[in-house]
Structure 1
Amino acid sequence: MNIEQARFNMIEQQIRPWDVLDQDVLTLLTQVKREAFVPEAHRALAFVDTQVPLPGGQSMLEPKIEARLLQELEVTRDDRVLEVGAGSGYMAALLAARAQRVTTLETDATLAALARENLRRAGVVNAKVVEADGSKGLPGEAPFDVIVLSGSVAELPQALLDQLKEGGRLVAIVGQQPVMQAVLVTRTGASAFQRQVLFDTVAPRLNGFGEPTRFAF
C-alpha cells in the first residue's frame, strides 16, 4: 500500500466532502500519522471510512468524524483541553498539535497504556493520559477551554459542562442507537449553555457512561 497516497485519498475523498475545509486541519491530518495510532492487527483500516476496533470494545472514530469535530472546536494555542476517552491516543495527538496542553482520561487500563505509548512514540510532549472516570471529568484541573468526548453518551453529564470556562466549547456524540447527533456546546454564562447540532452519526458508548436518567437541557 502506498501510505501517502492512501492518506491523500482519505483527506480528499472522505474528509473534505464532509465540509472539513479548514486548511490548518487538513494539513495537520498529513502531519499526525494516523497509521501509527492504529493497532497493528487493523493497520490496513487506518485510512478507511470506518471505525477501527480497539481493545475493550472501543473504537477509533471514522477519520471524517474526528476531522469534523476538530474543525468545529477551533482549538487555539492557548487552549487547555480535556478529552474523555483516550482510545489509541490519536485524537489527543491532533488536539495537542493545536492546543497548549491536553489531558485525556481513560477508564480502561489497557487503552490508557496503549494511548500513552503511542503518544510517546509520536513525540507528543504536551498531552498526558490519566486513568480515571471520564464521566466526572477532572475538577481539580478545571476549568477547560475545550472538552472532547471521543465516543457517545446518552446525555451530557452536568459535571463536564460545569468544567467548561465561559466561552469554552464541548463536543460530544449524544443519543441512543439508531439516533445519535454530534453536538457542539458553548458555555455562554455562569449557568448558560448554547447547543448546536452538527450532524447525525453513530458511535460506540464511552466506558463509564450509563443510560439516561435525566436530560441536561
Structure 2
Amino acid sequence: MKDTFRHQGKRKQLVEIVKAKGVSDEGVLAAIAKIPRHLFMDSSFEDHAYQDKAFPIAAEQTISQPFTVAFQSELLQVQPGEKILEIGTGSGYQTAVLCELGAKVYSIERQQELYVKTKRFLTQIGYRPKYLNFGDGYKGLPTYAPFDKIIVTAGAPFVPNPLLAQLKVGGRLVIPVGDDPQIMTLFIRKSAKEFEKKEFGEFRFVPMLEDKN
C-alpha cells in the first residue's frame, strides 16, 4: 500500500479540478489532497484514481466522484468534534474525509462484503471512525442519536423520517433525493418540528436500498 510522490502530485491536480468546480472549503480541499484515494480502489483502476469520476468497487457499488464527496462535505460544514452519521460507508473514502475534518464518525453499510472489507481497510490506513455498523441506513442509529450532522451517500427515493428525527436542532442533513438523477438536498433543523430545505442541483448515486439485511 504505497503512496508515492506521483500519487501526491495527482492529488494536487485533483484538488485544483474540484476547486474549479466551486468547492472552496479549505479543510475539505486539504482532506482531498491528503487521502490516498488510489488505495480505496482495485489496483487495476489505480490510473483512474485521481480523475474526477466515480468508479466501481465491490458489491456492485461505486466510490463516489471526488467533486461529489467534496461538495457534500462542504454542505455539511463539519466542525472538529462533531458527531456525524454517514449512511453508506461504501469504500470508506467519504468516511476518511470526515475523519480528516475531525468528526466523530458513525457509519452504516448495508452490504456485508463491503462492511467487512472497509472496516478492516480503514484501520489499516489509520482512520478510526467511532462506530461502523452493518445495518439498514433508513433506520439510522437511534442508540447514538442525536447527531450534529448526517450525510447520505446513496440515492434516496424519499427522505427517511428516522434520519430527520435523529438530527440535532441546528443540525444539517445532506441527502441526494430522487430516482435518477437525484437532487442534492440540504435540510437544516430549525426546531423540533421545523426544517429548512435547500436544493443544489442534479447528481447521480447508486440507489439506497431498504430492508436488505
TM-score (norm 2): 0.91
In structure 2, the gaps of 5 or more residues are none
SS at match of 1:153: coil
* Deviation of the 1:49 alpha carbon: 2.0
CA distance in 2, matches of 1:86, 1:42: 20
In the alignment, the residues of structure 2 paired with residue 37 and residue 146 of structure 1 have an alpha-carbon distance, to the nearest angstrom, of 24
1:84-132 CA-partner distances (Å, limit 9, x unpaired): 1000111111111223411110111111012112210121124432101
Q: Number of paired residues?
A: 208
Written as runs of structure 1 = structure 2, the 5 A alignment for 1:59-208 is 59-177=62-180, 179-208=181-210
TM-score normalized by structure 1? 0.90
Task: Work out the CA distance in 1 between the residues paired with 2:7 and 2:74.
Answer: 24
Structure 2 residue identity aligned to 1:147: I
Which of the pair is proportionally richer in strand?
1
Q: Say what the alpha-carbon RMSD is for the aligned residues.
A: 1.7
Q: Is the 8 A contact 2:105 2:131 kept in 1?
A: yes
Letter in 2 for 1:196: K
SS in 1 for 2:30: helix
Separation (CA, whole Å) in 2 of partners of 1:167 and 1:98:
19
Cα gap change, 1:207/1:39 in structure 2, threshold over 3 Å: closer, same or farther? farther
In the TM superposition, what is the alpha-carbon distance from 1:11 to its structure 2 partner?
A: 1.3
For residues 133 and 59 of structure 1, the distance between their equivalents in structure 2, rounded to whole angstroms, comes to 18
SS of aligned partner of 2:154 = strand
Deviations 1:1-36 (A, max 9, x none): 9322221221112x1122111222111211222122
Q: Structure 1: which amino acid aligns with 2:199? A: V
* Amino acid aligned to 1:40: S
Q: Which residue of the partner structure matches residue 213 of structure 1?
A: none
Identity %: 28
